Amino acid sequence: MERSNQSFSKRNYSSQPKANYPDYRSTILRHQEHKLVALPQTLADTRGPAFGHMALGDSDHDLIINYASTGLGAIGERIVVAGKVLDESGKPVPNALIEVWQANAGGRYRHKNDTYLAPLDPNFGGCGRCLTDQEGNYVFRTIKPGAYPWPNGGNDWRPAHIHFSIFGQAFAQRLMTQMYFEGDPHIQICPILQSIGDTRAVNQLVARLDMAHSVPMDLIAYRFDLILRGPNATMFENNLEGI
């Protein structure tokens, strides 16, 4: 996602989350105590294979039907999520592989370790992928995920969210983040989000309602743009200060 002969603006490190944030209990035991070390990329890192770019199926971008039995679809509020992937100068990033995964409408993941009592949807797998076009645009259909409880402070609930993974031109070039939904009251009280400590950075993780592109009697649209780096970069959880 970067070219070695290109100069970049400095990132705004004040938006980075606190490594040790007691309200987010896992950080107490897991936070690093030393400054992170940046390792320079080697030729193998920047010239390796690009995973999955040429193997997308016709319905990979459609989570409503890509796991469903023929003629059926996932249960829940039907939505479409669209946006652009941009560099720090606002230029589109074409041919970027985006993978998404999420809980179902009841707040449960299709994963053996998820034991939340909400039922699984037999027609919802919870994952999909798509490529950006030449203008950096992407789009996928899904259902709005539900909130779910997590064992942090006794009564903490994760806001509804969708995980994003963005691949560049090599397997090692991968960024991950989470997208939240405008108007969700859990955003203001989620210890994970509040550990960021920068309202602007949090707001960049929130998808905006986009009624102009909603499909009447079918789908509600949300807009979510991703900026790869620079002072206005989206907060990526695997690309914090020093990484």
Task: Please list the active-site residues.
Answer: 109, 148, 158, 161, 163
DSSP character string of 20-76: S-TTSTHHHHH--SS---PPPPPHHHHSS--TTTT---TTTTBTTTTTSPTT----S
Amino acid letter, 31: H
Amino acid letter, 238: N
User: From CA 95, how far away is CA 53, in angstroms rounded?
Assistant: 8
User: From CA 79, how far away is CA 215, in angstroms rounded?
Assistant: 9
User: From CA 159, how far away is CA 148, in angstroms rounded?
Assistant: 7
Residue with tokens 């320079």: 40
For residues 76 and 65, is the Cβ–Cβ distance under 8 A? no
Q: Of all helices (H) and strands (E), which one includes residue 199?
A: helix 199-203
